[in-house]
Amino acid sequence: MPVLDPQDPGQQGRAIISFDGVSKIFPSRKDSAEVKAVDNIDLVVPEGAIVGVIGKSGAGKSTLIRLINGLEQPTHGKVTVDGLDIGSLDEKALRQARRSIGMIFQHFNLLSSRTAFDNIALPLEIAGTPRKDIKGIVEPLLDMVGLADKRDRYPAELSGGQKQRVGIARALATKPKVLLSDEATSALDPETTAQIIALLKQINADLNLTILFITHEMSVVKKLAQRVAVMEGGQIIEQGTTYEIFSKPTHATTKRFVGEVTGGNVPEWLQSKLLADYAPGRQAVIRIAFTGADADEPVLSRLTRAYGVDFNIMHGQIEYVADHPFGTLIASVAAEPELQAKLIADLTATRNTVEHLGYVA
């Protein structure tokens, strides 16, 4: 299991969620083999952190989140939430544990016959909270999510973003220690997604509330997560801080995810022109991931002056990931193999990641 590092910005606290050798196997059916949805996972979610789990459909993300709230039981291993072994709890103890685990959903899951106020109050009613106390809990939550003026509106009268805000407030009603998010932004437009991300970050900061979210959108991970776990085939294939994953991905699947939002993927028009071998007159094509202080420095201009070569920028972008500068460029340069090696060595010496992609005529 990963060790908590006090210098890691996503690992300041104790582990509030942990997976220890967890597998979930669904038995075979009449015409199909058994399915190992989660395969020997070790994962630590520190208290107060925002952790994103990303993977394509079928990667095992939804099963992983259902193991946390006890909707699924592990076939092997142990899932611990706030010190409780979720798989060992009886039904009564599990109901109690779920009060400390809030959940928000992709499609909101609001009751159409209840107002915003009453949807938020629902988990309190189920928990047996006295009616006289419910108003004092629900109204501050409506304020927190910016819906004080929508308290008496029904879901049909609310926009998608407003419905999700109701869902978030409802998830916070029982004062959970953990908030789980199941693709909570994938049904929203980009502007509303940005607003929900900002709200979740504010809730995390104000309440020190641990958030674990699953998504297939790397753009959401980039803006929201402090730490990332990448899933494929039921396994976690790579994990680390968001900046580590974006700046130095090691697995091919992670590289594809990262490239979708950083400009690192080779565009089709260039892929079709790449040649494998050097020949006189061909230019080397390199992909450079600029990290740290060099991300917004004129590195290629310096190399042009130092080596007397010209770079042709073919693709890329520069932005901020987890509040740190990060840039990806794909460039070509007319240089023989010996000079190519010197250029790549110079670039990597300043913490950049460089990959030689091939040649173009």
Q: Which residue has the higher pLDDT, 171 or 318?
A: 171
Per-residue pLDDT tens over the stretch 154-194: 999 999 999 999 999 999 999 999 999 999 898 889 999 99
Task: Give me the mean pLDDT over the 353-360 stretch.
Answer: 89
Instruction: Determine contact, residues 34/229, Cβ cutoff 8 Å.
Output: no
Confidence of residue 122 (pLDDT cuts 50, 70, 90): very high
Find the angle CA(30)-CA(34)-CA(39) to the nearest 5 degrees.
Answer: 165
Domains of the chain (ranges, CATH numbers): 15-100+176-260 (3.40.50.300), 264-360 (3.30.70.260)
185 closest CA partner among 231, 158, 218 = 218
pLDDT digits over 90-115, tens only? 999 999 999 999 999 988 999 999 99
Note the pLDDT of residue 12: 52
Provide the token pair at 197: 């991300």
205 by DSSP, 3-state: which?
helix
| Cα separation, 124 vs 110, whole angstroms | 15
Label each residue of 144-200 as H, E or C: HCCCHHHCCCCHHHCCHHHHHHHHHHHHHCCCCCEEEEECCCCCCCHHHHHHHHHHH
- Quote the pLDDT of residue 316: 80
CA distances, 2 to each of 44, 66, 203, 237, 285 (Å): 7, 21, 26, 13, 37
Q: Measure Cα distances from 341 to 236, 264, 345, 353 in Å.
A: 34, 21, 6, 14
Residue 1 pLDDT greater than 60, yes or no: no
Pairing of strands 235-241, 227-232: antiparallel
**Model confidence pLDDT, tens digit, residues 265-308:** 788 888 889 999 998 889 999 988 877 655 666 788 888 998 89
Question: What percent of the chain shows pLDDT beyond 90?
Answer: 60
Cα separation of 221 and 52, whole Å?
6
Mean pLDDT of 343-349: 87
- pLDDT per residue over 129-162, tens digit each? 999 999 999 999 999 999 999 999 999 999 999 9
Rounded to whole angstroms, the Cα distance separating 294 from 9 reads 21
* pLDDT of 84 over the 50 cut: yes
**Stretch 82-90: mean pLDDT:** 94
d(C-alpha 146, C-alpha 149), whole Å = 8
